Amino acid sequence: MSIKGTTMKQQKGFSIIEVLVVIVVLGLLGAAGWFVFNRMQSKDAATTSTSQQSSGDTDARAAAYVPWEFNGETWSARGDAPACPEPYTVASPMDAKKASAVLYPGQVRGGDFKPHGGLGTDGVNNIQVSAVTDAYLVRGSRYIEAGTVQYMFDFIDPCGFMYRLDHLAELSDEFKKYADQLPPAKQDDSRTTKYENNPLIKKGTVIATQVGYTANKNSFFDFGLYDLRKPNEASKTDIYQTDNLRIQDKEMSFFAVCWLDYIAGEDQAILKALPARGIEGKTNDYCK
């Protein structure tokens, strides 16, 4: 009997130990599972965070300002310039149906070579001028000409296009603030000033509400478009190697393009159908 009782005690003892072992093993398995699950969750969260950060960085780069500088011969980007869309197009700077004539780019006018063109508005100075594409404001000028304060602005698309608007007479509230950062207007002194901060001006932003010389009702404004990535075809011709009028403004004249060819949609046909403004007619270096 004593042997039987001892055996029963031993069997009972082993049963308790086995239960404890099972509990410990289950606990360890649970802890290991929790640890692995936590690691996977952390890894997923880190991957998601990295992915979101990468996506955010890409968006930031796409919207970032990339300075372009002219070294006397060529323009180059100081940074990684994004690729330009192909074909590159811009909006008309004004309601095309309200324009009365086209000033062609690449002409000698008033004794100076003018890489830019422009639009006439048939005696109407109250014309709204808007940004033609998303671009950064880089330079500006205010000066007095024909008894009227005039404003000029240069904008650069980081991909490598620049556009210029000049002979703006009355600015929008937003652009009045930018004009206030420029030196005081002087007679016939249209030298530009670089902006320290370069705000992004979105396509369609109203820049001016009046154009031209309001004092004598001469209604027009200048518009120029420049592909900074490479010199234009005209710059390879003989006259661009010998004519000082064209050479002295190389940063503009060697890179100007026929902006009419870049106008998007039906506005291009509307503007190309207009008569030329000025005695120079349609004779020019850039538009074929």
- What is the residue-level pLDDT of the chain in tens, covering all 288 positions? 333 333 333 444 445 555 454 455 555 555 555 454 455 554 444 444 333 333 333 333 345 999 999 999 999 999 999 999 999 999 999 999 999 999 999 999 999 999 999 999 999 999 999 999 999 999 999 999 999 999 999 999 999 999 999 999 999 999 999 999 999 999 999 999 999 999 999 999 999 999 999 999 999 999 999 999 999 999 999 999 999 999 999 999 999 999 999 999 999 999 999 999 989 999 999 999
Predicted local distance difference test score (pLDDT) of residue 13: 47
Residues 28 and 138 in one domain: no
Q: Are residues 265 and 159 in the same domain?
A: yes
Asked if 259 and 144 sit in the same domain, the reply is: yes
CA 187 – CA 60 distance, rounded (Å): 41
What is the CATH number for 127? 2.70.70
Helix (H) or strand (E) holding 76: strand 75-77
Same domain for 134 and 31: no
Separation between Cα atoms, residue 254 and residue 184, nearest integer Å: 30
Could you tell me if residue 89 is inside a domain? no
Evaluate whether residue 264 is within a structural domain. yes
Give the residue from 80, 97, 146, 125 showing the smallest Cα distance to 274.
Answer: 97
Are 56 and 130 part of one and the same domain? Answer: no
- Nearest partner of 250 among 226, 271, 273, judged by Cα: 226
- Shared-domain flag, residues 120 and 240: yes
The greatest distance separating any two alpha carbons of the chain, rounded to the nearest whole angstrom, comes to 134
Q: Which pLDDT does position 39 carry in this prediction?
A: 54
Q: Are residues 16 and 133 in the same domain?
A: no
- In this predicted structure, what is the pLDDT of residue 95? 99
Q: Taking the CA atoms of the chain, what radius of gyration do you get in angstroms?
A: 34
Does some domain include residue 79? no
**Considering the entire predicted model, what is its pTM?**
0.79
Question: Residue 282 domain-assigned?
Answer: no
Angle at 282 between CA 87 and CA 130, to 5 degrees: 50
pLDDT value, residue 27 = 59
Its domain, for residue 221, covers 96-272
Residue 68 CA, chain-centre distance (Å), reads: 12
Amino acid at 109: R
105 plus 58 within the same structural domain: no
Residues 143 and 206 grouped into a single domain: yes
| Count of structural domains within the chain | 2
pLDDT at 9: 37
Q: How many angstroms separate the CA atoms of 136 and 127, rounded? A: 23
Domain match, 101 and 221 both: yes
Residue type, 38: N
Report yes or no on 280 lying in a domain: no
| Distance between CA atoms of residues 153 and 86, nearest Å | 25
Evaluate whether residue 68 is within a structural domain: no
Contact 259, 224 (CB under 8 A): yes
Same domain, 256 and 122: yes
Is 286 a domain residue?
Answer: no
Contact 94, 106 (CB under 8 A): no
Q: How far apart are CA 233 and CA 213, in angstroms?
A: 33
The two three-digit tokens of residue 208, written as one number: 């001016």
8-state DSSP, 164: E
Structure token digits, residue 233: 């075809």
Asked if residue 88 is part of any domain, the answer here is: no
Strand, coil or helix: 7: helix
For residues 8 and 126, membership in a common domain is answered with no
DSSP letter at 265 equals T
Instruction: Out of 11, 40, 63, pick the residue that ends a domain.
Output: 63
- The per-residue pLDDT for 228 is 99
